[in-house]
Structure 1
């Protein structure tokens, strides 16, 4: 457990979406086409930065073909529409982390489906983290979002873990 196939990602993403719909949450499944890996989960929210500025954040959970794991991409925009650069993103989302860790954790790269620059949490240790989770997860997409999302203020309701849908086998 840890790495996953595209088919597993797609199945688990759809299961996650079912839970989201049951909970009245606003996750969506975006599908560019039926090719691998052109489908991803999308969620948007407004957050307040440490300085009190309102930031619009769009999150995408995408399948990484290279690493065979879910990967979290996001874009953060100020209320005037301007995009936060990597340093502003770091200060907004991870101010307690050491600046030396910046490029090991957060990176800017092209979105694998949209081919536009997005911020991303680096996937190099995701499979290892998911394996260390303990008892194998029935939905690695849900586990991934639960573990990685809080790093960028993406917090799931506790009800996601309590849903009967989250125990798919």
Structure 2
């Protein structure tokens, strides 16, 4: 069975590979490095997305996405902040309505989307909980050449982080 975890050095290497591909595609990702210590480097991108309130397209919001390394779970983790056009931050309930209107039960939401301090910036961000990420990444049967790319491809669409189809050409299996 394939192990879905990765080391800090693997995360850095695969994040840099992902960044190189993003640069080739002009997709706007950056690598933010606070310092050389673990885990003070993360991928970041900003997007404008339409919030899905009550199943209809409504307002345009600005979202900043970060892919960070979870030291506890040894997997990539997706953090994000969403702001309205007036600059105000979406609270937890507004975020759930905007990004996960299909979730029926509050308990379902708490299991996948939560607010927590960003492990590098030490301020509140929304996050997709990493507890099942290793299992999800291991389900592919073969080890992805770039688990960051696989992770974003699988988890990103849940919060309107969609990669260009051209990224799919870069996925290889070992």
Q: What TM-score, normalized by structure 1, do the two folds share?
A: 0.95
Tell me whether 1:28 sits opposite 2:16 in the alignment: no
- Flag as ranges the 4+ runs of structure 1 deviating above 3 A: 166-169
Tell me whether 1:138 sits opposite 2:140 in the alignment: no
Match for residue 83 of structure 2?
77
- Structure 2 stretches lacking a partner, 5+ long: none
What is the CA–CA distance in structure 2 between the aligned matches of 1:140 and 1:30, rounded to whole Å? 18
Match for residue 119 of structure 1?
126
- 1:57 aligned counterpart, secondary structure: strand
Match for residue 158 of structure 1?
165
What is the CA–CA distance in structure 2 between the aligned matches of 1:106 and 1:47, rounded to whole Å? 18
Match for residue 101 of structure 2?
95
94-103 or 56-65: bigger deviation? 94-103
- Structure 1 stretches lacking a partner, 5+ long: none
Q: What TM-score, normalized by structure 2, do the two folds share?
A: 0.92
Q: What CA RMSD, in Å, does the superposition of the two structures yield over aligned residues?
A: 1.2
Match for residue 40 of structure 1?
42
Give the number of equivalent residue pairs: 167
What is the CA–CA distance in structure 1 between the aligned matches of 2:108 and 2:147, rounded to whole Å? 25
51-60 or 107-116: bigger deviation? 51-60
